Amino acid sequence: MQIKGITQAAADWSGDAIALGFFSSEEVISLPESLGALDSKLSGAIAEILAETEFKGKSGSTSLNRVGGGAEIKKVLLVGLGDEDKWDGKAVRSTGAAIARAVKGDQNIKTLAISVPPLDDAAATAQMITEGITLGLYADNRYKSGDDIKEPALETVDILGIGDQSEAIATGSILCEGTIYARELVNSPANVINPVTLAASVKELADEYGLELTVLGQDECEAQNMGSYLGVAEATDLPPQFIHLIYKPEGTPRKKLAIIGKGLTFDSGGYNIKPSGPSIAMMKMDMGGAAATFGAAKAIAQLKPDVEVHFISAATENMISGSGLRPGDILTASNGKTIEVNNTDAEGRLTLADALVYAEKLEVDAIVDIATLTGACVIALGEEICGLWGDDELADAISSASEKAGEEFWKMPMPPKYFEGMKSPIADMKNTGPRYGGSITAALFLKEFVEDTPWVHLDIAGPAWSDKESDIYSKGGTGFPVRTLVHWVLS
């Protein structure tokens, strides 16, 4: 599919369908003067459609209508833009997604024009529409078969009245590539994406974009005393794969950054096994942090910022076996701290612990970890908002990047006294604390494995997965927060 910005006005364009945006109104919208020429070209069809559908421009609402009489434009799509005073980048992106959902099932729409009020920045308008259209059209049909699977017929999208914005459109497309890569990793079942095949997929990225890759196996991880990570890996028949992918810019990098993603390709809960039903069936998505990490790598490798970025994941499964981790076991992490395991289903933080120690040894300027870590975070913030903990300045930078990406974050507290509930009588700490404040105590646990480097922890347990198609998100893995991570690195 080709997306391009053009200078043409709506009345001068011809093709299969045109999407027309309208801000919301309490009354039925009448034909605006700006569309008079196009309406005349279509023999008054737009005015008739507005009246017949009683269209009021509610945000995200659409109405696709056939235009008769042999007109040069075959269909008109009415699109609600919501309140005019809330028309911003996020709203433009959402509008693009609403348009995509409205047309993607129509096999007769190959060429589409979009006419919406541009933002003050035409390039930003083009990028947001590109992201909305691309992510809204996406559906993961890789594991389906049959003639009823029909990919969208859309071949060309023209964004009217903004001129050539090819660079911004290319950036938007690259951000979507990274997001979709992450979605497909999360959506893949555990018999397709496991620690070994995840490492192989990352190797393909490294080969395609000229990135450096190191994968540490069992022996190498033992040599680095990664007892916390390896404790989780004990029960699986698949070897641990500690993945370290590096992007280096040309010349001297301005900064060195590390992004760490939790990489549990399947999480049974171990001996603290998860209940049967949807809870355990969804656990292929417990590597959403790793998926976002490497999705960001795919985009960053193409956008080529002047910073060095290390993408890290301690990948494994959390399974059950006679040799597996037991409640009550004590593990020693690579920084020498000991952990009494009082819950084998709190395994992600055990893998992240050694990854954080490893990243800090790289002498980076900042570390961000991303993990589907706690159900407590979903209870606190719901399914669409990511919890954020850590260094204030770095947290502000992530929040600023999230505004550009249209992804929602909320800064959470880290009161040191909450760590009291994590203390063990026989080790330095336990891996879980009291029932209340579980996402906070998880963040405090991770903080024990970062000494001096600015660090932020992102708990994406809610927004990493969607049970329904909504806004730019398809059902399943969302690719959250690939775009925020990329905007942060670019900044």
> What does the block give as tokens for 435?
């029932």
Supply the pLDDT for residue 447. 98
Tell me: pLDDT of 69 over 80. no
Tell me: pLDDT of 54 over 70. yes
CATH H superfamily, domain 175-490: Zn peptidases (3.40.630.10)
Name the DSSP letter for residue 275.
P
Enumerate the β-bridge partners of residue 3. 157
pLDDT in tens, 258-315: 999 999 999 999 999 999 888 898 999 999 999 999 999 999 999 999 999 999 999 9
Confidence bin at 38 (pLDDT 50/70/90):
very high
Tell me: pLDDT of 68 over 80. no
Enumerate the β-bridge partners of residue 386. 409
pLDDT in tens, 152-173: 899 999 999 999 999 999 999 9
3-state secondary structure of 178: helix
Q: Under a CB-based contact definition with an 8 Å cutoff, are residues 395 and 483 in contact?
A: no
Tell me: pLDDT of 328 over 70. yes
Confidence bin at 70 (pLDDT 50/70/90):
low
Domain with CATH 3.40.630.10 in the chain: 175-490
Supply the pLDDT for residue 146. 77
Strands 308-318 and 263-267: parallel
Helical H segments across 68-161, by residue range:
89-103, 122-137
Residue listed under structure tokens 């003067």: 33
Tell me: pLDDT of 391 over 70. yes
Give the Cα separation of 426 and 458 in Å (integer): 30
3-state secondary structure of 389: strand
Q: What integer best gives the mean pLDDT of the chain?
A: 96
**Element at 213 (helix H, strand E):** strand 212-216
Catalytic residue of the set 349, 404, 430, 483:
349
pLDDT in tens, 188-239: 999 999 999 999 999 999 999 999 999 999 999 999 999 999 999 999 999 9
Question: At 14, which amino acid appears?
Answer: S
Give the Cα separation of 36 and 30 in Å (integer): 11
Supply the pLDDT for residue 151. 85
CATH H superfamily, domain 2-163: Leucine Aminopeptidase, subunit E, domain 1 (3.40.220.10)
Tell me: pLDDT of 458 over 70. yes
Domain with CATH 3.40.220.10 in the chain: 2-163
Catalytic residue of the set 56, 74, 248, 274:
274
Is 142 catalytic? The answer is no
pLDDT in tens, 78-135: 999 999 999 999 999 999 999 999 999 999 999 999 999 999 999 999 999 999 999 9
Is 248 catalytic? The answer is no
Q: Under a CB-based contact definition with an 8 Å cutoff, are residues 217 and 309 in contact?
A: no
Q: Under a CB-based contact definition with an 8 Å cutoff, are residues 49 and 63 in contact?
A: yes
Mean pLDDT along residues 370-390: 97
Residues listed for the chain: 491
pTM of structure: 0.97
DSSP one-letter string for 32-56: PGGGHHHHHHTTTHHHHHHHHHT--
